[in-house]
Amino acid sequence: MNSDFYRLAVSSHFSSFPKSFSLRKKVPWWYQILNPRSKFVARWNRTFLYVCIAALFLDPLYFYFPITGDKACMQTDLVLGVFVTFSRTVADLFFLFHMVLKFRTAYVAPTSRVYGRKELVTDPRVIASRYLKSDFIIDLLATLPLPQIVVWFVIPAVKNSTVAHVNHTLSLIVLIQFIPRLFQIFPLQRRILKTSGLIAKTALAGALYNLGSYMLASHVLGATWYVASIQRQYECWIITCKQEMNNTHSPTCTPSFLDCATLDHRERQAWFKRTKVLSNCDALNNKNEFQFGLFADAFTDHVSSSRFVQKYFYCLWWGLKNLSSYGQNLQTSTYSGETLFSSFICIAGLILFAHLIGNMQNYLQSTTARIEEWRLRQKDTEEWMNHRQLPPELQQRVRRFVQYKWLATRGVDEEAILRALPLDLRRQIQRHLCLDIVRRVPFFGQMDDQLLDAICERLVSSLNTKDSYIVREGDPVREMLFIIRGQVESSTTDGGRTGFYNSITLRPGDFCGEELLTWALMPSSNLNLPSSTRTVKSISEVEAFALRAEDLKFVANQFKRLHSKKLQHAFRYYSHQWRAWGAHFIQAAWRRHRKRKLAMELLGKESLYYTNVMEIVEEEDVDDDEGDDGGGAGESSSGPSMGFQNLGATVLASKFAANTRKGKIKKVKINLPDSDSLKMPKMFKPTEPDFSTFHD
């Protein structure tokens, strides 16, 4: 009674909760700890790698902000500034989300790596403490939107700020923040390699990744060269402006005149009419004291005053050209900045070309490594055949087989790949590859899936070129072949008997080597393999699956269903050996029937003939008797003696007719036409195993 009351109380208590209530509290996603080997983390790391590369591409675009022209002033490209600021802000959001994920991603405890357990640390406080001590500072410097803050908030708030100040400050900040963003990629690549094993899934993708990295370096170098060229021209303007400050002409030069914001000022317009800034800072004039060095191309080709697209591609070409040639074509001045910049180009070109282009070459060579390996093997084969002085026909057959094997497998060792896989995975792959093909064989269509899986697991690939003898009559049978492609001729002479030949063409879905199955099904089969009763020769290039003798014996011993009468009858029906024996048996029976029928027809004709002869003889005897009766009474005394003589003659005539008939029959049996030519050699019945020890 108490138990029933307690059960009723509990049921009424839980019935008051809503249906969506669960005793296990669901943790929100922002409180969950991520597994570093999960699919989401692996996918995010790969996505963030591409974002980092895009961010490294965006930052050098700040160097294209300053623009110079024919007015000896500098201004900022506002359209480019808005685009780069928006793109950079989106990239910064990805960096911020990456920092948040690092606070919620578990890591493997260092002490658990010794024993191979690799236990994960899931405590949020421990994870946060470890992250703050390791990579937090670098990630924070890479995430802060410093260029946006400086361009749109700090510089406009500063009084008397010029474009030159903006250029200097922005270039310095971008260079400082570019370094942590660059070094952020290397640990990210290591994590991707640990989780997935590779960065690029294909050789072409790997080559494009390394080529893109090399192009990114050229892009950074070209943008740096452009902003350094603008800075070098601005220095020339400043030097000329300082020289004009000491002159007595009015108005005197001030640094504010070099900003395009003062173009409408009267003092600036009056100064521009008398100044020598354009002539003294002309890169085309070699008589000037100021040397532009390697930055002269930016002004001789009017790069600084061009549109952004033209300017960008010219700078990219300049960086790619000098990075690939290690700066050998650069003409520097005695200015120390140019010398250091040229040295940096030489060192960077050597390192990047050795690393990135070397990796790209390895990726591209990996696509042709199989071809080169096949060529070397083919060369070794040719040298061996020439050394052994093989006949030209054999050499041609060897070349044809090597060529066909390469076209069929592309140099891949399938057996080695399958052996390296786990048993369950190997079984599923073999089932996928072989099950449909094995089911095409009518004999195996009678088996269940478990037995077919055991057979598919032990099938190996077999290749044969045209006019190759797979097995000869009388040789031991070592494997059963299930034809996938091509045609095979199977012939037999029944052990070399004269006057006997049987041939059949095997096509995809057929099999040969059925003697091996009979041998495997025998309970007392010894180690001696059965002899082949047929000669199997390929008519064209043949691709097949082979089931070796030991594997077939193992399957026959493990699965007793192979010994069922249904499978035995199916085997006899689809076996070409049994079909040939059955056809020979039917032909011999038909010939015996035809010979017996012919003999009976001849016998019937002879019986009719001698019956007519006997009737004629009897009629003549009757006529003789009547003549004797009507001859006179004088001869009546001799009647009894003549009756006895006629009776003896009749008996002798019947015996003679009987003997003659027997002789005729013997003669017909002996002298039948085509009797010698129709006589066929006896074909032995195929060996049949003793299944008495097995019970279905």
Amino acid letter, 217: A
More confident residue, 350 or 564: 350
- pLDDT of residue 94 exceeding 90: yes
Q: What is the DSSP string of 584-633?
A: HHHHHHHHHHHHHHHHHHHHHHHHHHHHHHHHHHHHHHHHHHHHHHTT-G
Query: Cβ–Cβ contacts within 10 Å for residue 584, how many?
Result: 19
Structure-token pair, residue 133: 């001590």
**Domain covering 414-574, topology:** Jelly Rolls (2.60.120)
Helix ranges (DSSP H) in 501-575: 515-521, 549-558, 565-574
CA–CA separation, 306 and 303 (whole Å): 5
Q: CATH 2.60.120.10 occupies which residues in the chain?
A: 414-574
Question: What pLDDT, on the 0 to 100 scale, is given for residue 450?
Answer: 78
Closest residue by Cα to residue 453 from 423, 491, 488, 475: 423
Half-sphere exposure of 169 (CA within 13 A, CB side): 18
The predicted model gives 188-193 an average pLDDT of 85
Question: What pLDDT, on the 0 to 100 scale, is given for residue 11?
Answer: 42
Question: What pLDDT, on the 0 to 100 scale, is given for residue 78?
Answer: 85
Closest residue by Cα to residue 163 from 298, 66, 78: 66
Name all contacts of 155-162 with Cβ < 8 Å and 24+ positions apart. Answer: 160/256, 162/255, 162/256, 162/258, 162/259
Q: Widest CA span of the chain, in angstroms?
A: 203
Span 116-143, pLDDT tens digits: 566 788 888 988 899 898 889 988 998 9
Count the residues in the chain. Answer: 696
Span 7-58, pLDDT tens digits: 443 344 433 333 333 334 566 666 788 888 888 888 898 899 999 999 999 9
The predicted model gives 672-693 an average pLDDT of 45
Question: What pLDDT, on the 0 to 100 scale, is given for residue 494?
Answer: 72
Half-sphere exposure of 655 (CA within 13 A, CB side): 6
Closest residue by Cα to residue 567 from 645, 615, 514, 643: 514
Question: What pLDDT, on the 0 to 100 scale, is given for residue 92?
Answer: 92
Amino acid letter, 316: L
Cβ burial 238-253 (10 Å sphere, 16+ → b, else e): bebbeebeeeeeeeeb
641 — pLDDT class (breaks 50, 70, 90): very low
- pLDDT of residue 301 exceeding 50: yes
Q: Are 617 and 690 in contact (CB under 8 A)?
A: no
Percent of the chain with pLDDT over 90: 7
Name all contacts of 573-578 with Cβ < 8 Å and 24+ positions apart. Answer: 574/441, 574/442, 574/443, 575/443, 575/514, 575/686, 576/490, 576/504, 576/506, 576/510, 576/512, 576/514, 576/534, 577/492, 577/514, 577/515, 577/533, 577/534, 577/686, 578/514, 578/686
Q: Global pTM?
A: 0.58
622 — pLDDT class (breaks 50, 70, 90): low
Helix, strand or coil for residue 503? strand
